[in-house]
Structure 1
Amino acid sequence: MKLRQVEYFLAVLDHDGIHRAALALRVAQPSLSQGLQALERDLGAELFHRVGRRMIPTPAGNAFITPARRMIRDAITTRSVVASALGLSGGRLDLVGEAALLSDPVAPLIGRFRRENPNVHVRLAAPQAESSLIQMVHGGSSELGFGYLPQPLDGLQMQVIASHEFFFVQPPGTPESSEPITLDDLRGIGIIAVPRGTAQRDFFERMLLEADVRTGIPVQVAHREAVVPMILAGAGPSVLPRPRADEAVRRGAIKRRFEPQIYRKVGLFHRAGDLSPAAHALLAIAGSDT
């Protein structure tokens, strides 16, 4: 089994087909197909069902996904460790981060990391869902992950690197007030929210439950990125972390602080065991900034 063949397998999986996988890897489509067939022969199992142009993982293919990602991650880590021992610089650092954390703390950390390590390439992915962030780190497709707490660690290591304050954010034109707002003041108010079962909604509902407060949800949006535009359009208020609240204020919204103040911690997650020198460097930077 060759690592290149494993890369072919993951590319077909991630790009939903051989054609786009070949384009992404910049290899000829026949070469990719032959490499994938050789991998299936080595494993003694068919990894994909060919349905038209689509490639659907078989049970064996699904079982191979996590080991395959770990193989690639371990290979990258090994190369980085050897390069570091030889006094070389370079390599790649794969990260994943929730969208709400990109402006703070992710961007400042990556900025400082790149200034100190200009020859290391950084790739930052976004989880398809909040729960998939942990899966991406655990599975090896990303070496480090940034996410709000609490999260199910699933055997991962975690360090707290930041804490975001949450604000009550109202549409433009709302009378401004320097007075803080309490959770009890939200009683009966309609709040723009993301769907139940997401980490942000669960966090919000847990706060309300502890305060014995019930609110309405007149507008529910599937994506967190839609909340600020909804507020700006006058659809209603919402409760947002500081980065998103500040973005909304810059665009005309009104924010009010809670009393008592509401905070949510931000964690940096990684697998136990060997990490690349680049990952260790970013962890050290994150630790020095907290």
Structure 2
Amino acid sequence: MATLRQLEYLVAIVDEGSFTRAAERLDVTQPGLSHQFQALEREAGGPLLERLPRGVRLTPAGRSMLPHARAALAEAGRATASARRAAGVSTGELHLATLYSVSSGVLPAVLGRWRRQHPGVRIRLFEHRRGDEMARAMAAGQADVAVGPLPEGWEGTARHIGTEEFLVVTCADDPAAAAPGAPGVRLSDLAEREWVHFTPDSGLSDILEAACAAAGFRPRVAVRTEQASSAIGYAAAGLGPTLVPANTVPPYFGGVLLRPDPPLRRRLTGYTRTSPDPVTASFLDLLGDHAPLMPPHVGRRLRPAARTDRRPPRERR
């Protein structure tokens, strides 16, 4: 059976591109590394690497083994950290996977509070563009806990932490912000507009496309960006409306916020592959208690229809 040390050698050789540099990185002799790697290849039943004049190249067997080797090493590291935390050791790392939008909207306040409560436990953050990408990484053992929408059919531990709301962002003089009578804006009323959209590999792109499809149209694109924060800035500058999680909206910006009618919401969870250790469970508790899904400044900025009566307040009856 392959040992963790042999798997570490495989990963180091691939990452460094040569046996010599891998031996230097691991502080072992090159003959010793080569001997252990040959034992790994015998265990695997054939070559894992092709030696080239300038580097190495994975064989099909090597390409198949490499992601499992990385996952095994990551899992071993987390097993040690979990045992140390369970034994009361207050140092180490908590590995956290999340989406870009959740990272910028939900996590800063939570991680700030976590740092004050657990100053000796570092956070290693893995950010993903899409929920399905993050789920695959979690299944491969990337992190202790993931924060985002719960993958369909997930078999590990999951804890609901709340529901975030999506809002339409547009510029201050947008006619949609002055439409009388409505509590927000129907996306169908924006069907002829050009939108601040997201790059196709962003999960926010799927959400915008699905919301517009439900309203009966496909959004025309003024500009695409990968980040919600950039989309907010472009929409406030007048490039077109966009749709973002409420918690990604900064306290001060020059645009207008409108609630879609009907509302658009997304459930967020913290999920793990196995039962969480005490520190991971503590993080999930903190997340559930303090995740800013609708920050107060956003609620105050939400703008329903502007009044068509433009008389000064004293003249209104």
Task: Answer yes or no: is the 8 Å Cα contact 1:171–1:234 preserved in 2.
Answer: yes
Higher mean C-alpha displacement, 151-160 vs 88-97: 151-160
Aligned to 2:63: 62
Deviation at 1:133, TM superposition (A): 0.9
- Secondary structure of the 2:223 match is strand
Bigger Rg, which one: 2
Q: Which amino acid aligns with 1:124?
A: L
CA pair 74-30 structure 1, distance change in 2 beyond 3 A? closer
Q: Which amino acid aligns with 2:186?
A: T
What CA distance in whole angstroms lies between the structure 2 residues aligned with 1:242 and 1:150?
19
TM-score (norm. length: structure 1): 0.77
Higher mean C-alpha displacement, 135-144 vs 209-218: 209-218
Listed one character per residue, the Cα deviations across residues 230-267 of structure 1 (whole Å, up to 9, x for unaligned) are 335532221111133x23x7232222222333211222
Equivalenced residue count is 282
Tell me, which stretches of 5 or more residues in structure 2 are unaligned? 292-317
Q: Which amino acid aligns with 2:89?
A: L
Deviation at 1:98, TM superposition (A): 1.0
What CA distance in whole angstroms lies between the structure 2 residues aligned with 1:226 and 1:36?
49
Do residues 183 (structure 1) and 178 (structure 2) align?
no
Tell me, which stretches of 5 or more residues in structure 1 are unaligned? none
Aligned to 2:267: 265
Higher mean C-alpha displacement, 1-10 vs 114-123: 1-10
CA pair 51-240 structure 1, distance change in 2 beyond 3 A? farther
Task: Answer yes or no: is the 8 Å Cα contact 2:228–2:244 preserved in 1.
Answer: no
Higher mean C-alpha displacement, 66-75 vs 258-267: 66-75
Aligned to 1:164: 164
What CA distance in whole angstroms lies between the structure 2 residues aligned with 1:189 and 1:143?
42
CA pair 107-51 structure 1, distance change in 2 beyond 3 A? farther
What CA distance in whole angstroms lies between the structure 1 residues aligned with 2:132 and 2:54?
29
Aligned to 1:114: 115
Higher mean C-alpha displacement, 130-139 vs 276-285: 276-285
What CA distance in whole angstroms lies between the structure 1 residues aligned with 2:55 and 2:153?
34
In the TM superposition, 1:1-290 aligns within 5 A as 1-10=2-11, 15=15, 17=17, 27=25, 35=33, 38-44=36-42, 45-50=46-51, 55-127=56-128, 129-147=130-148, 149=149, 151-153=151-153, 155-171=155-171, 174=174, 177=178, 180-196=184-200, 198-221=202-225, 226-244=230-248, 246-247=249-250, 250-271=252-273, 273-289=274-290
Task: Answer yes or no: is the 8 Å Cα contact 1:93–1:120 preserved in 2.
Answer: yes
Deviation at 1:117, TM superposition (A): 2.2
Listed one character per residue, the Cα deviations across residues 122-164 of structure 1 (whole Å, up to 9, x for unaligned) are 10022265432112111112221122x3634554443221322
Aligned residues: CA RMSD: 3.6
What CA distance in whole angstroms lies between the structure 1 residues aligned with 2:184 and 2:111?
34
Task: Answer yes or no: is the 8 Å Cα contact 2:188–2:215 preserved in 1.
Answer: yes
Q: Which amino acid aligns with 2:224?
A: Q
Higher mean C-alpha displacement, 2-11 vs 276-285: 2-11
Higher mean C-alpha displacement, 222-231 vs 182-191: 222-231
TM-score (norm. length: structure 2): 0.72
Q: Which amino acid aligns with 2:257?
A: K
CA pair 151-118 structure 1, distance change in 2 beyond 3 A? same
CA pair 55-95 structure 1, distance change in 2 beyond 3 A? farther
What CA distance in whole angstroms lies between the structure 1 residues aligned with 2:52 and 2:111?
41
- Secondary structure of the 1:95 match is strand
What CA distance in whole angstroms lies between the structure 2 residues aligned with 1:234 and 1:210?
25
CA pair 87-255 structure 1, distance change in 2 beyond 3 A? closer
Task: Answer yes or no: is the 8 Å Cα contact 1:98–1:127 preserved in 2.
Answer: yes
Listed one character per residue, the Cα deviations across residues 107-128 of structure 1 (whole Å, up to 9, x for unaligned) are 2332333333222121002226
